[in-house]
Copies of this chain bind each other. A is one copy, B any other.
Amino acid sequence: MNQTIIQEVRETTPLIHHLTNQVVMNFSANGLLSFGAAPVMAKAEEETAEMAANANGLLLNIGTLTSQELPAMINAGKTANERGIPVVLDPVGVAATPFRTNAVKRILSDVQPTIIKGNAGELAHLVEIPWETKGVESVGDGNADEIALKVAETYQSAAIVTGKTDVICIGSEVVHNHTGHPILGKITGAGCLLGSILTACLTTNKSIEQQALTAVQFYGLAAEYAAERPDVNGPGTFLSHFIDALAYDPAKLERE
């Protein structure tokens, strides 16, 4: 982890434009604010291009996408590309229905993401590697490295396959992250908020390898720290402490 990336986020408070799902908007906003960046979630088709132009990073998450909202995403993504603003795409549940598959195809034909992140089932689907999914959850078991490499190659984007071990692929290079905690699987939006934190880290002046690794490592450490608080007895009490932990110094999280 490169702690200066987190320091830089906290000093610059980058504005992250979210076009994300309705389930996690509040959680993502609070988690990102605690981490040290600032969210904006404007979603009207008429304004997303301008909002993205004034933002420092853009997150596209299709969790509860409707066809009416797709143009707003594409407008924002195109503008971010033109301005050189980092774009993270989280193709939530892309394998679940043709509607999602087609929406992601349209996004990827018009927008160049900096990073595509998702669970193994989602990213496997993007490169036609067989995988089992259940709703929007990935339940299969296979070679996440292969998936990440193929996504990175196919879409000329960095790729992150989240899971017990996170796989980060930049070009042909693959690194792994082992921080994290199973309780993240018992709260909604754990992957979605990681997308927000990741986008914030991408706004700093460091290499994308370091930015991506720092985001996922820090996020996992914060979860580990929060899960171990003595007054955490389940996912409800975990949530409060996890949001707190996202504001802490990495050193504090690692020490305990």
Interface residues of A (CB under 8 A from B): 15, 17, 21-27, 29-30, 33-34, 38-47, 50-51, 54-55, 63-68, 93, 96-100, 134-137, 186-189, 231, 233-237, 239-248
Given the interface pairs A46-B99, A66-B43, the reply to whether A231 lies near B231 with Cβ below 8 Å is yes
| CB contact under 8 A between A241 and B245, given known A26-B26, A97-B47 | no
**Which of B26, B51, B236 contacts A188 (CB under 8 A)?**
B26
| Minimum CB distance partner of A36 in chain B | B186
From known contacts A42-B64, A51-B96, infer whether A30 and B236 are also in contact, taking CB-CB under 8 Å: yes
| Chain B nearest CB, measured from A107 CB (Å) | 14
A35, chain B: closest CB distance, angstroms: 10
CB distance from A126 to the nearest CB of B (A): 17
Is B235 a contact partner of A245 (Cβ separation < 8 A)? no
Instruction: Compute how far the CA of A244 lies from the CA of B65 in the bound complex, rounded to whole angstroms.
Output: 29
Contact present for B247 and A242 (CB under 8 Å)? no
- Closest 3 pairs (CB-CB, A-B): A236-B243, A234-B244, A29-B188
Q: Which of B27, B38, B65, B136 contacts A26 (CB 8 A)?
A: B27
Contacts of A245 in B (CB 8 A): 234, 236
Measured between beta carbons, the chain B residues less than 8 angstroms from A136 are 40, 42
A88 smallest CB distance to B (angstroms) = 17
Cα–Cα, bound, A63→B40 (Å): 9
Task: Among B17, B25, B234, point to the contact of A247 (Cβ < 8 A).
Answer: B234
Contact indicator A67/B46 (Cβ below 8 Å): yes
Distance, CA A188 to CA B27, complexed state (A): 9
Contacts of A100 in B (CB 8 A): 42, 47
Q: Which residues of B contact A47 (CB under 8 A)?
A: 96-100
| In contact, B135 and A30 (Cβ under 8 angstroms) | no
* Shortest beta-carbon distance from A187 to chain B in Å: 6
Measured CB to CB, the nearest residue on chain B to A188 is B29
Q: Specify which of A42, A93, A239 lies most central, judged by the most chain B CB atoms within 10 Å of its CB.
A: A42
Contact B44 A66 (CB under 8 A): yes
Q: A33-B188, A51-B97, A240-B240 are in contact. Are A38 and B247 (CB under 8 A)?
A: no
Contacts known (A22-B22, A25-B23, A236-B240); A188 close to B39, Cβ less than 8 A: yes
- B135 A51 Cβ-Cβ under 8 A: yes
Cβ contacts A to B, 7 pairs, < 8 Å: A17-B135, A34-B236, A47-B97, A50-B98, A50-B99, A234-B246, A236-B240
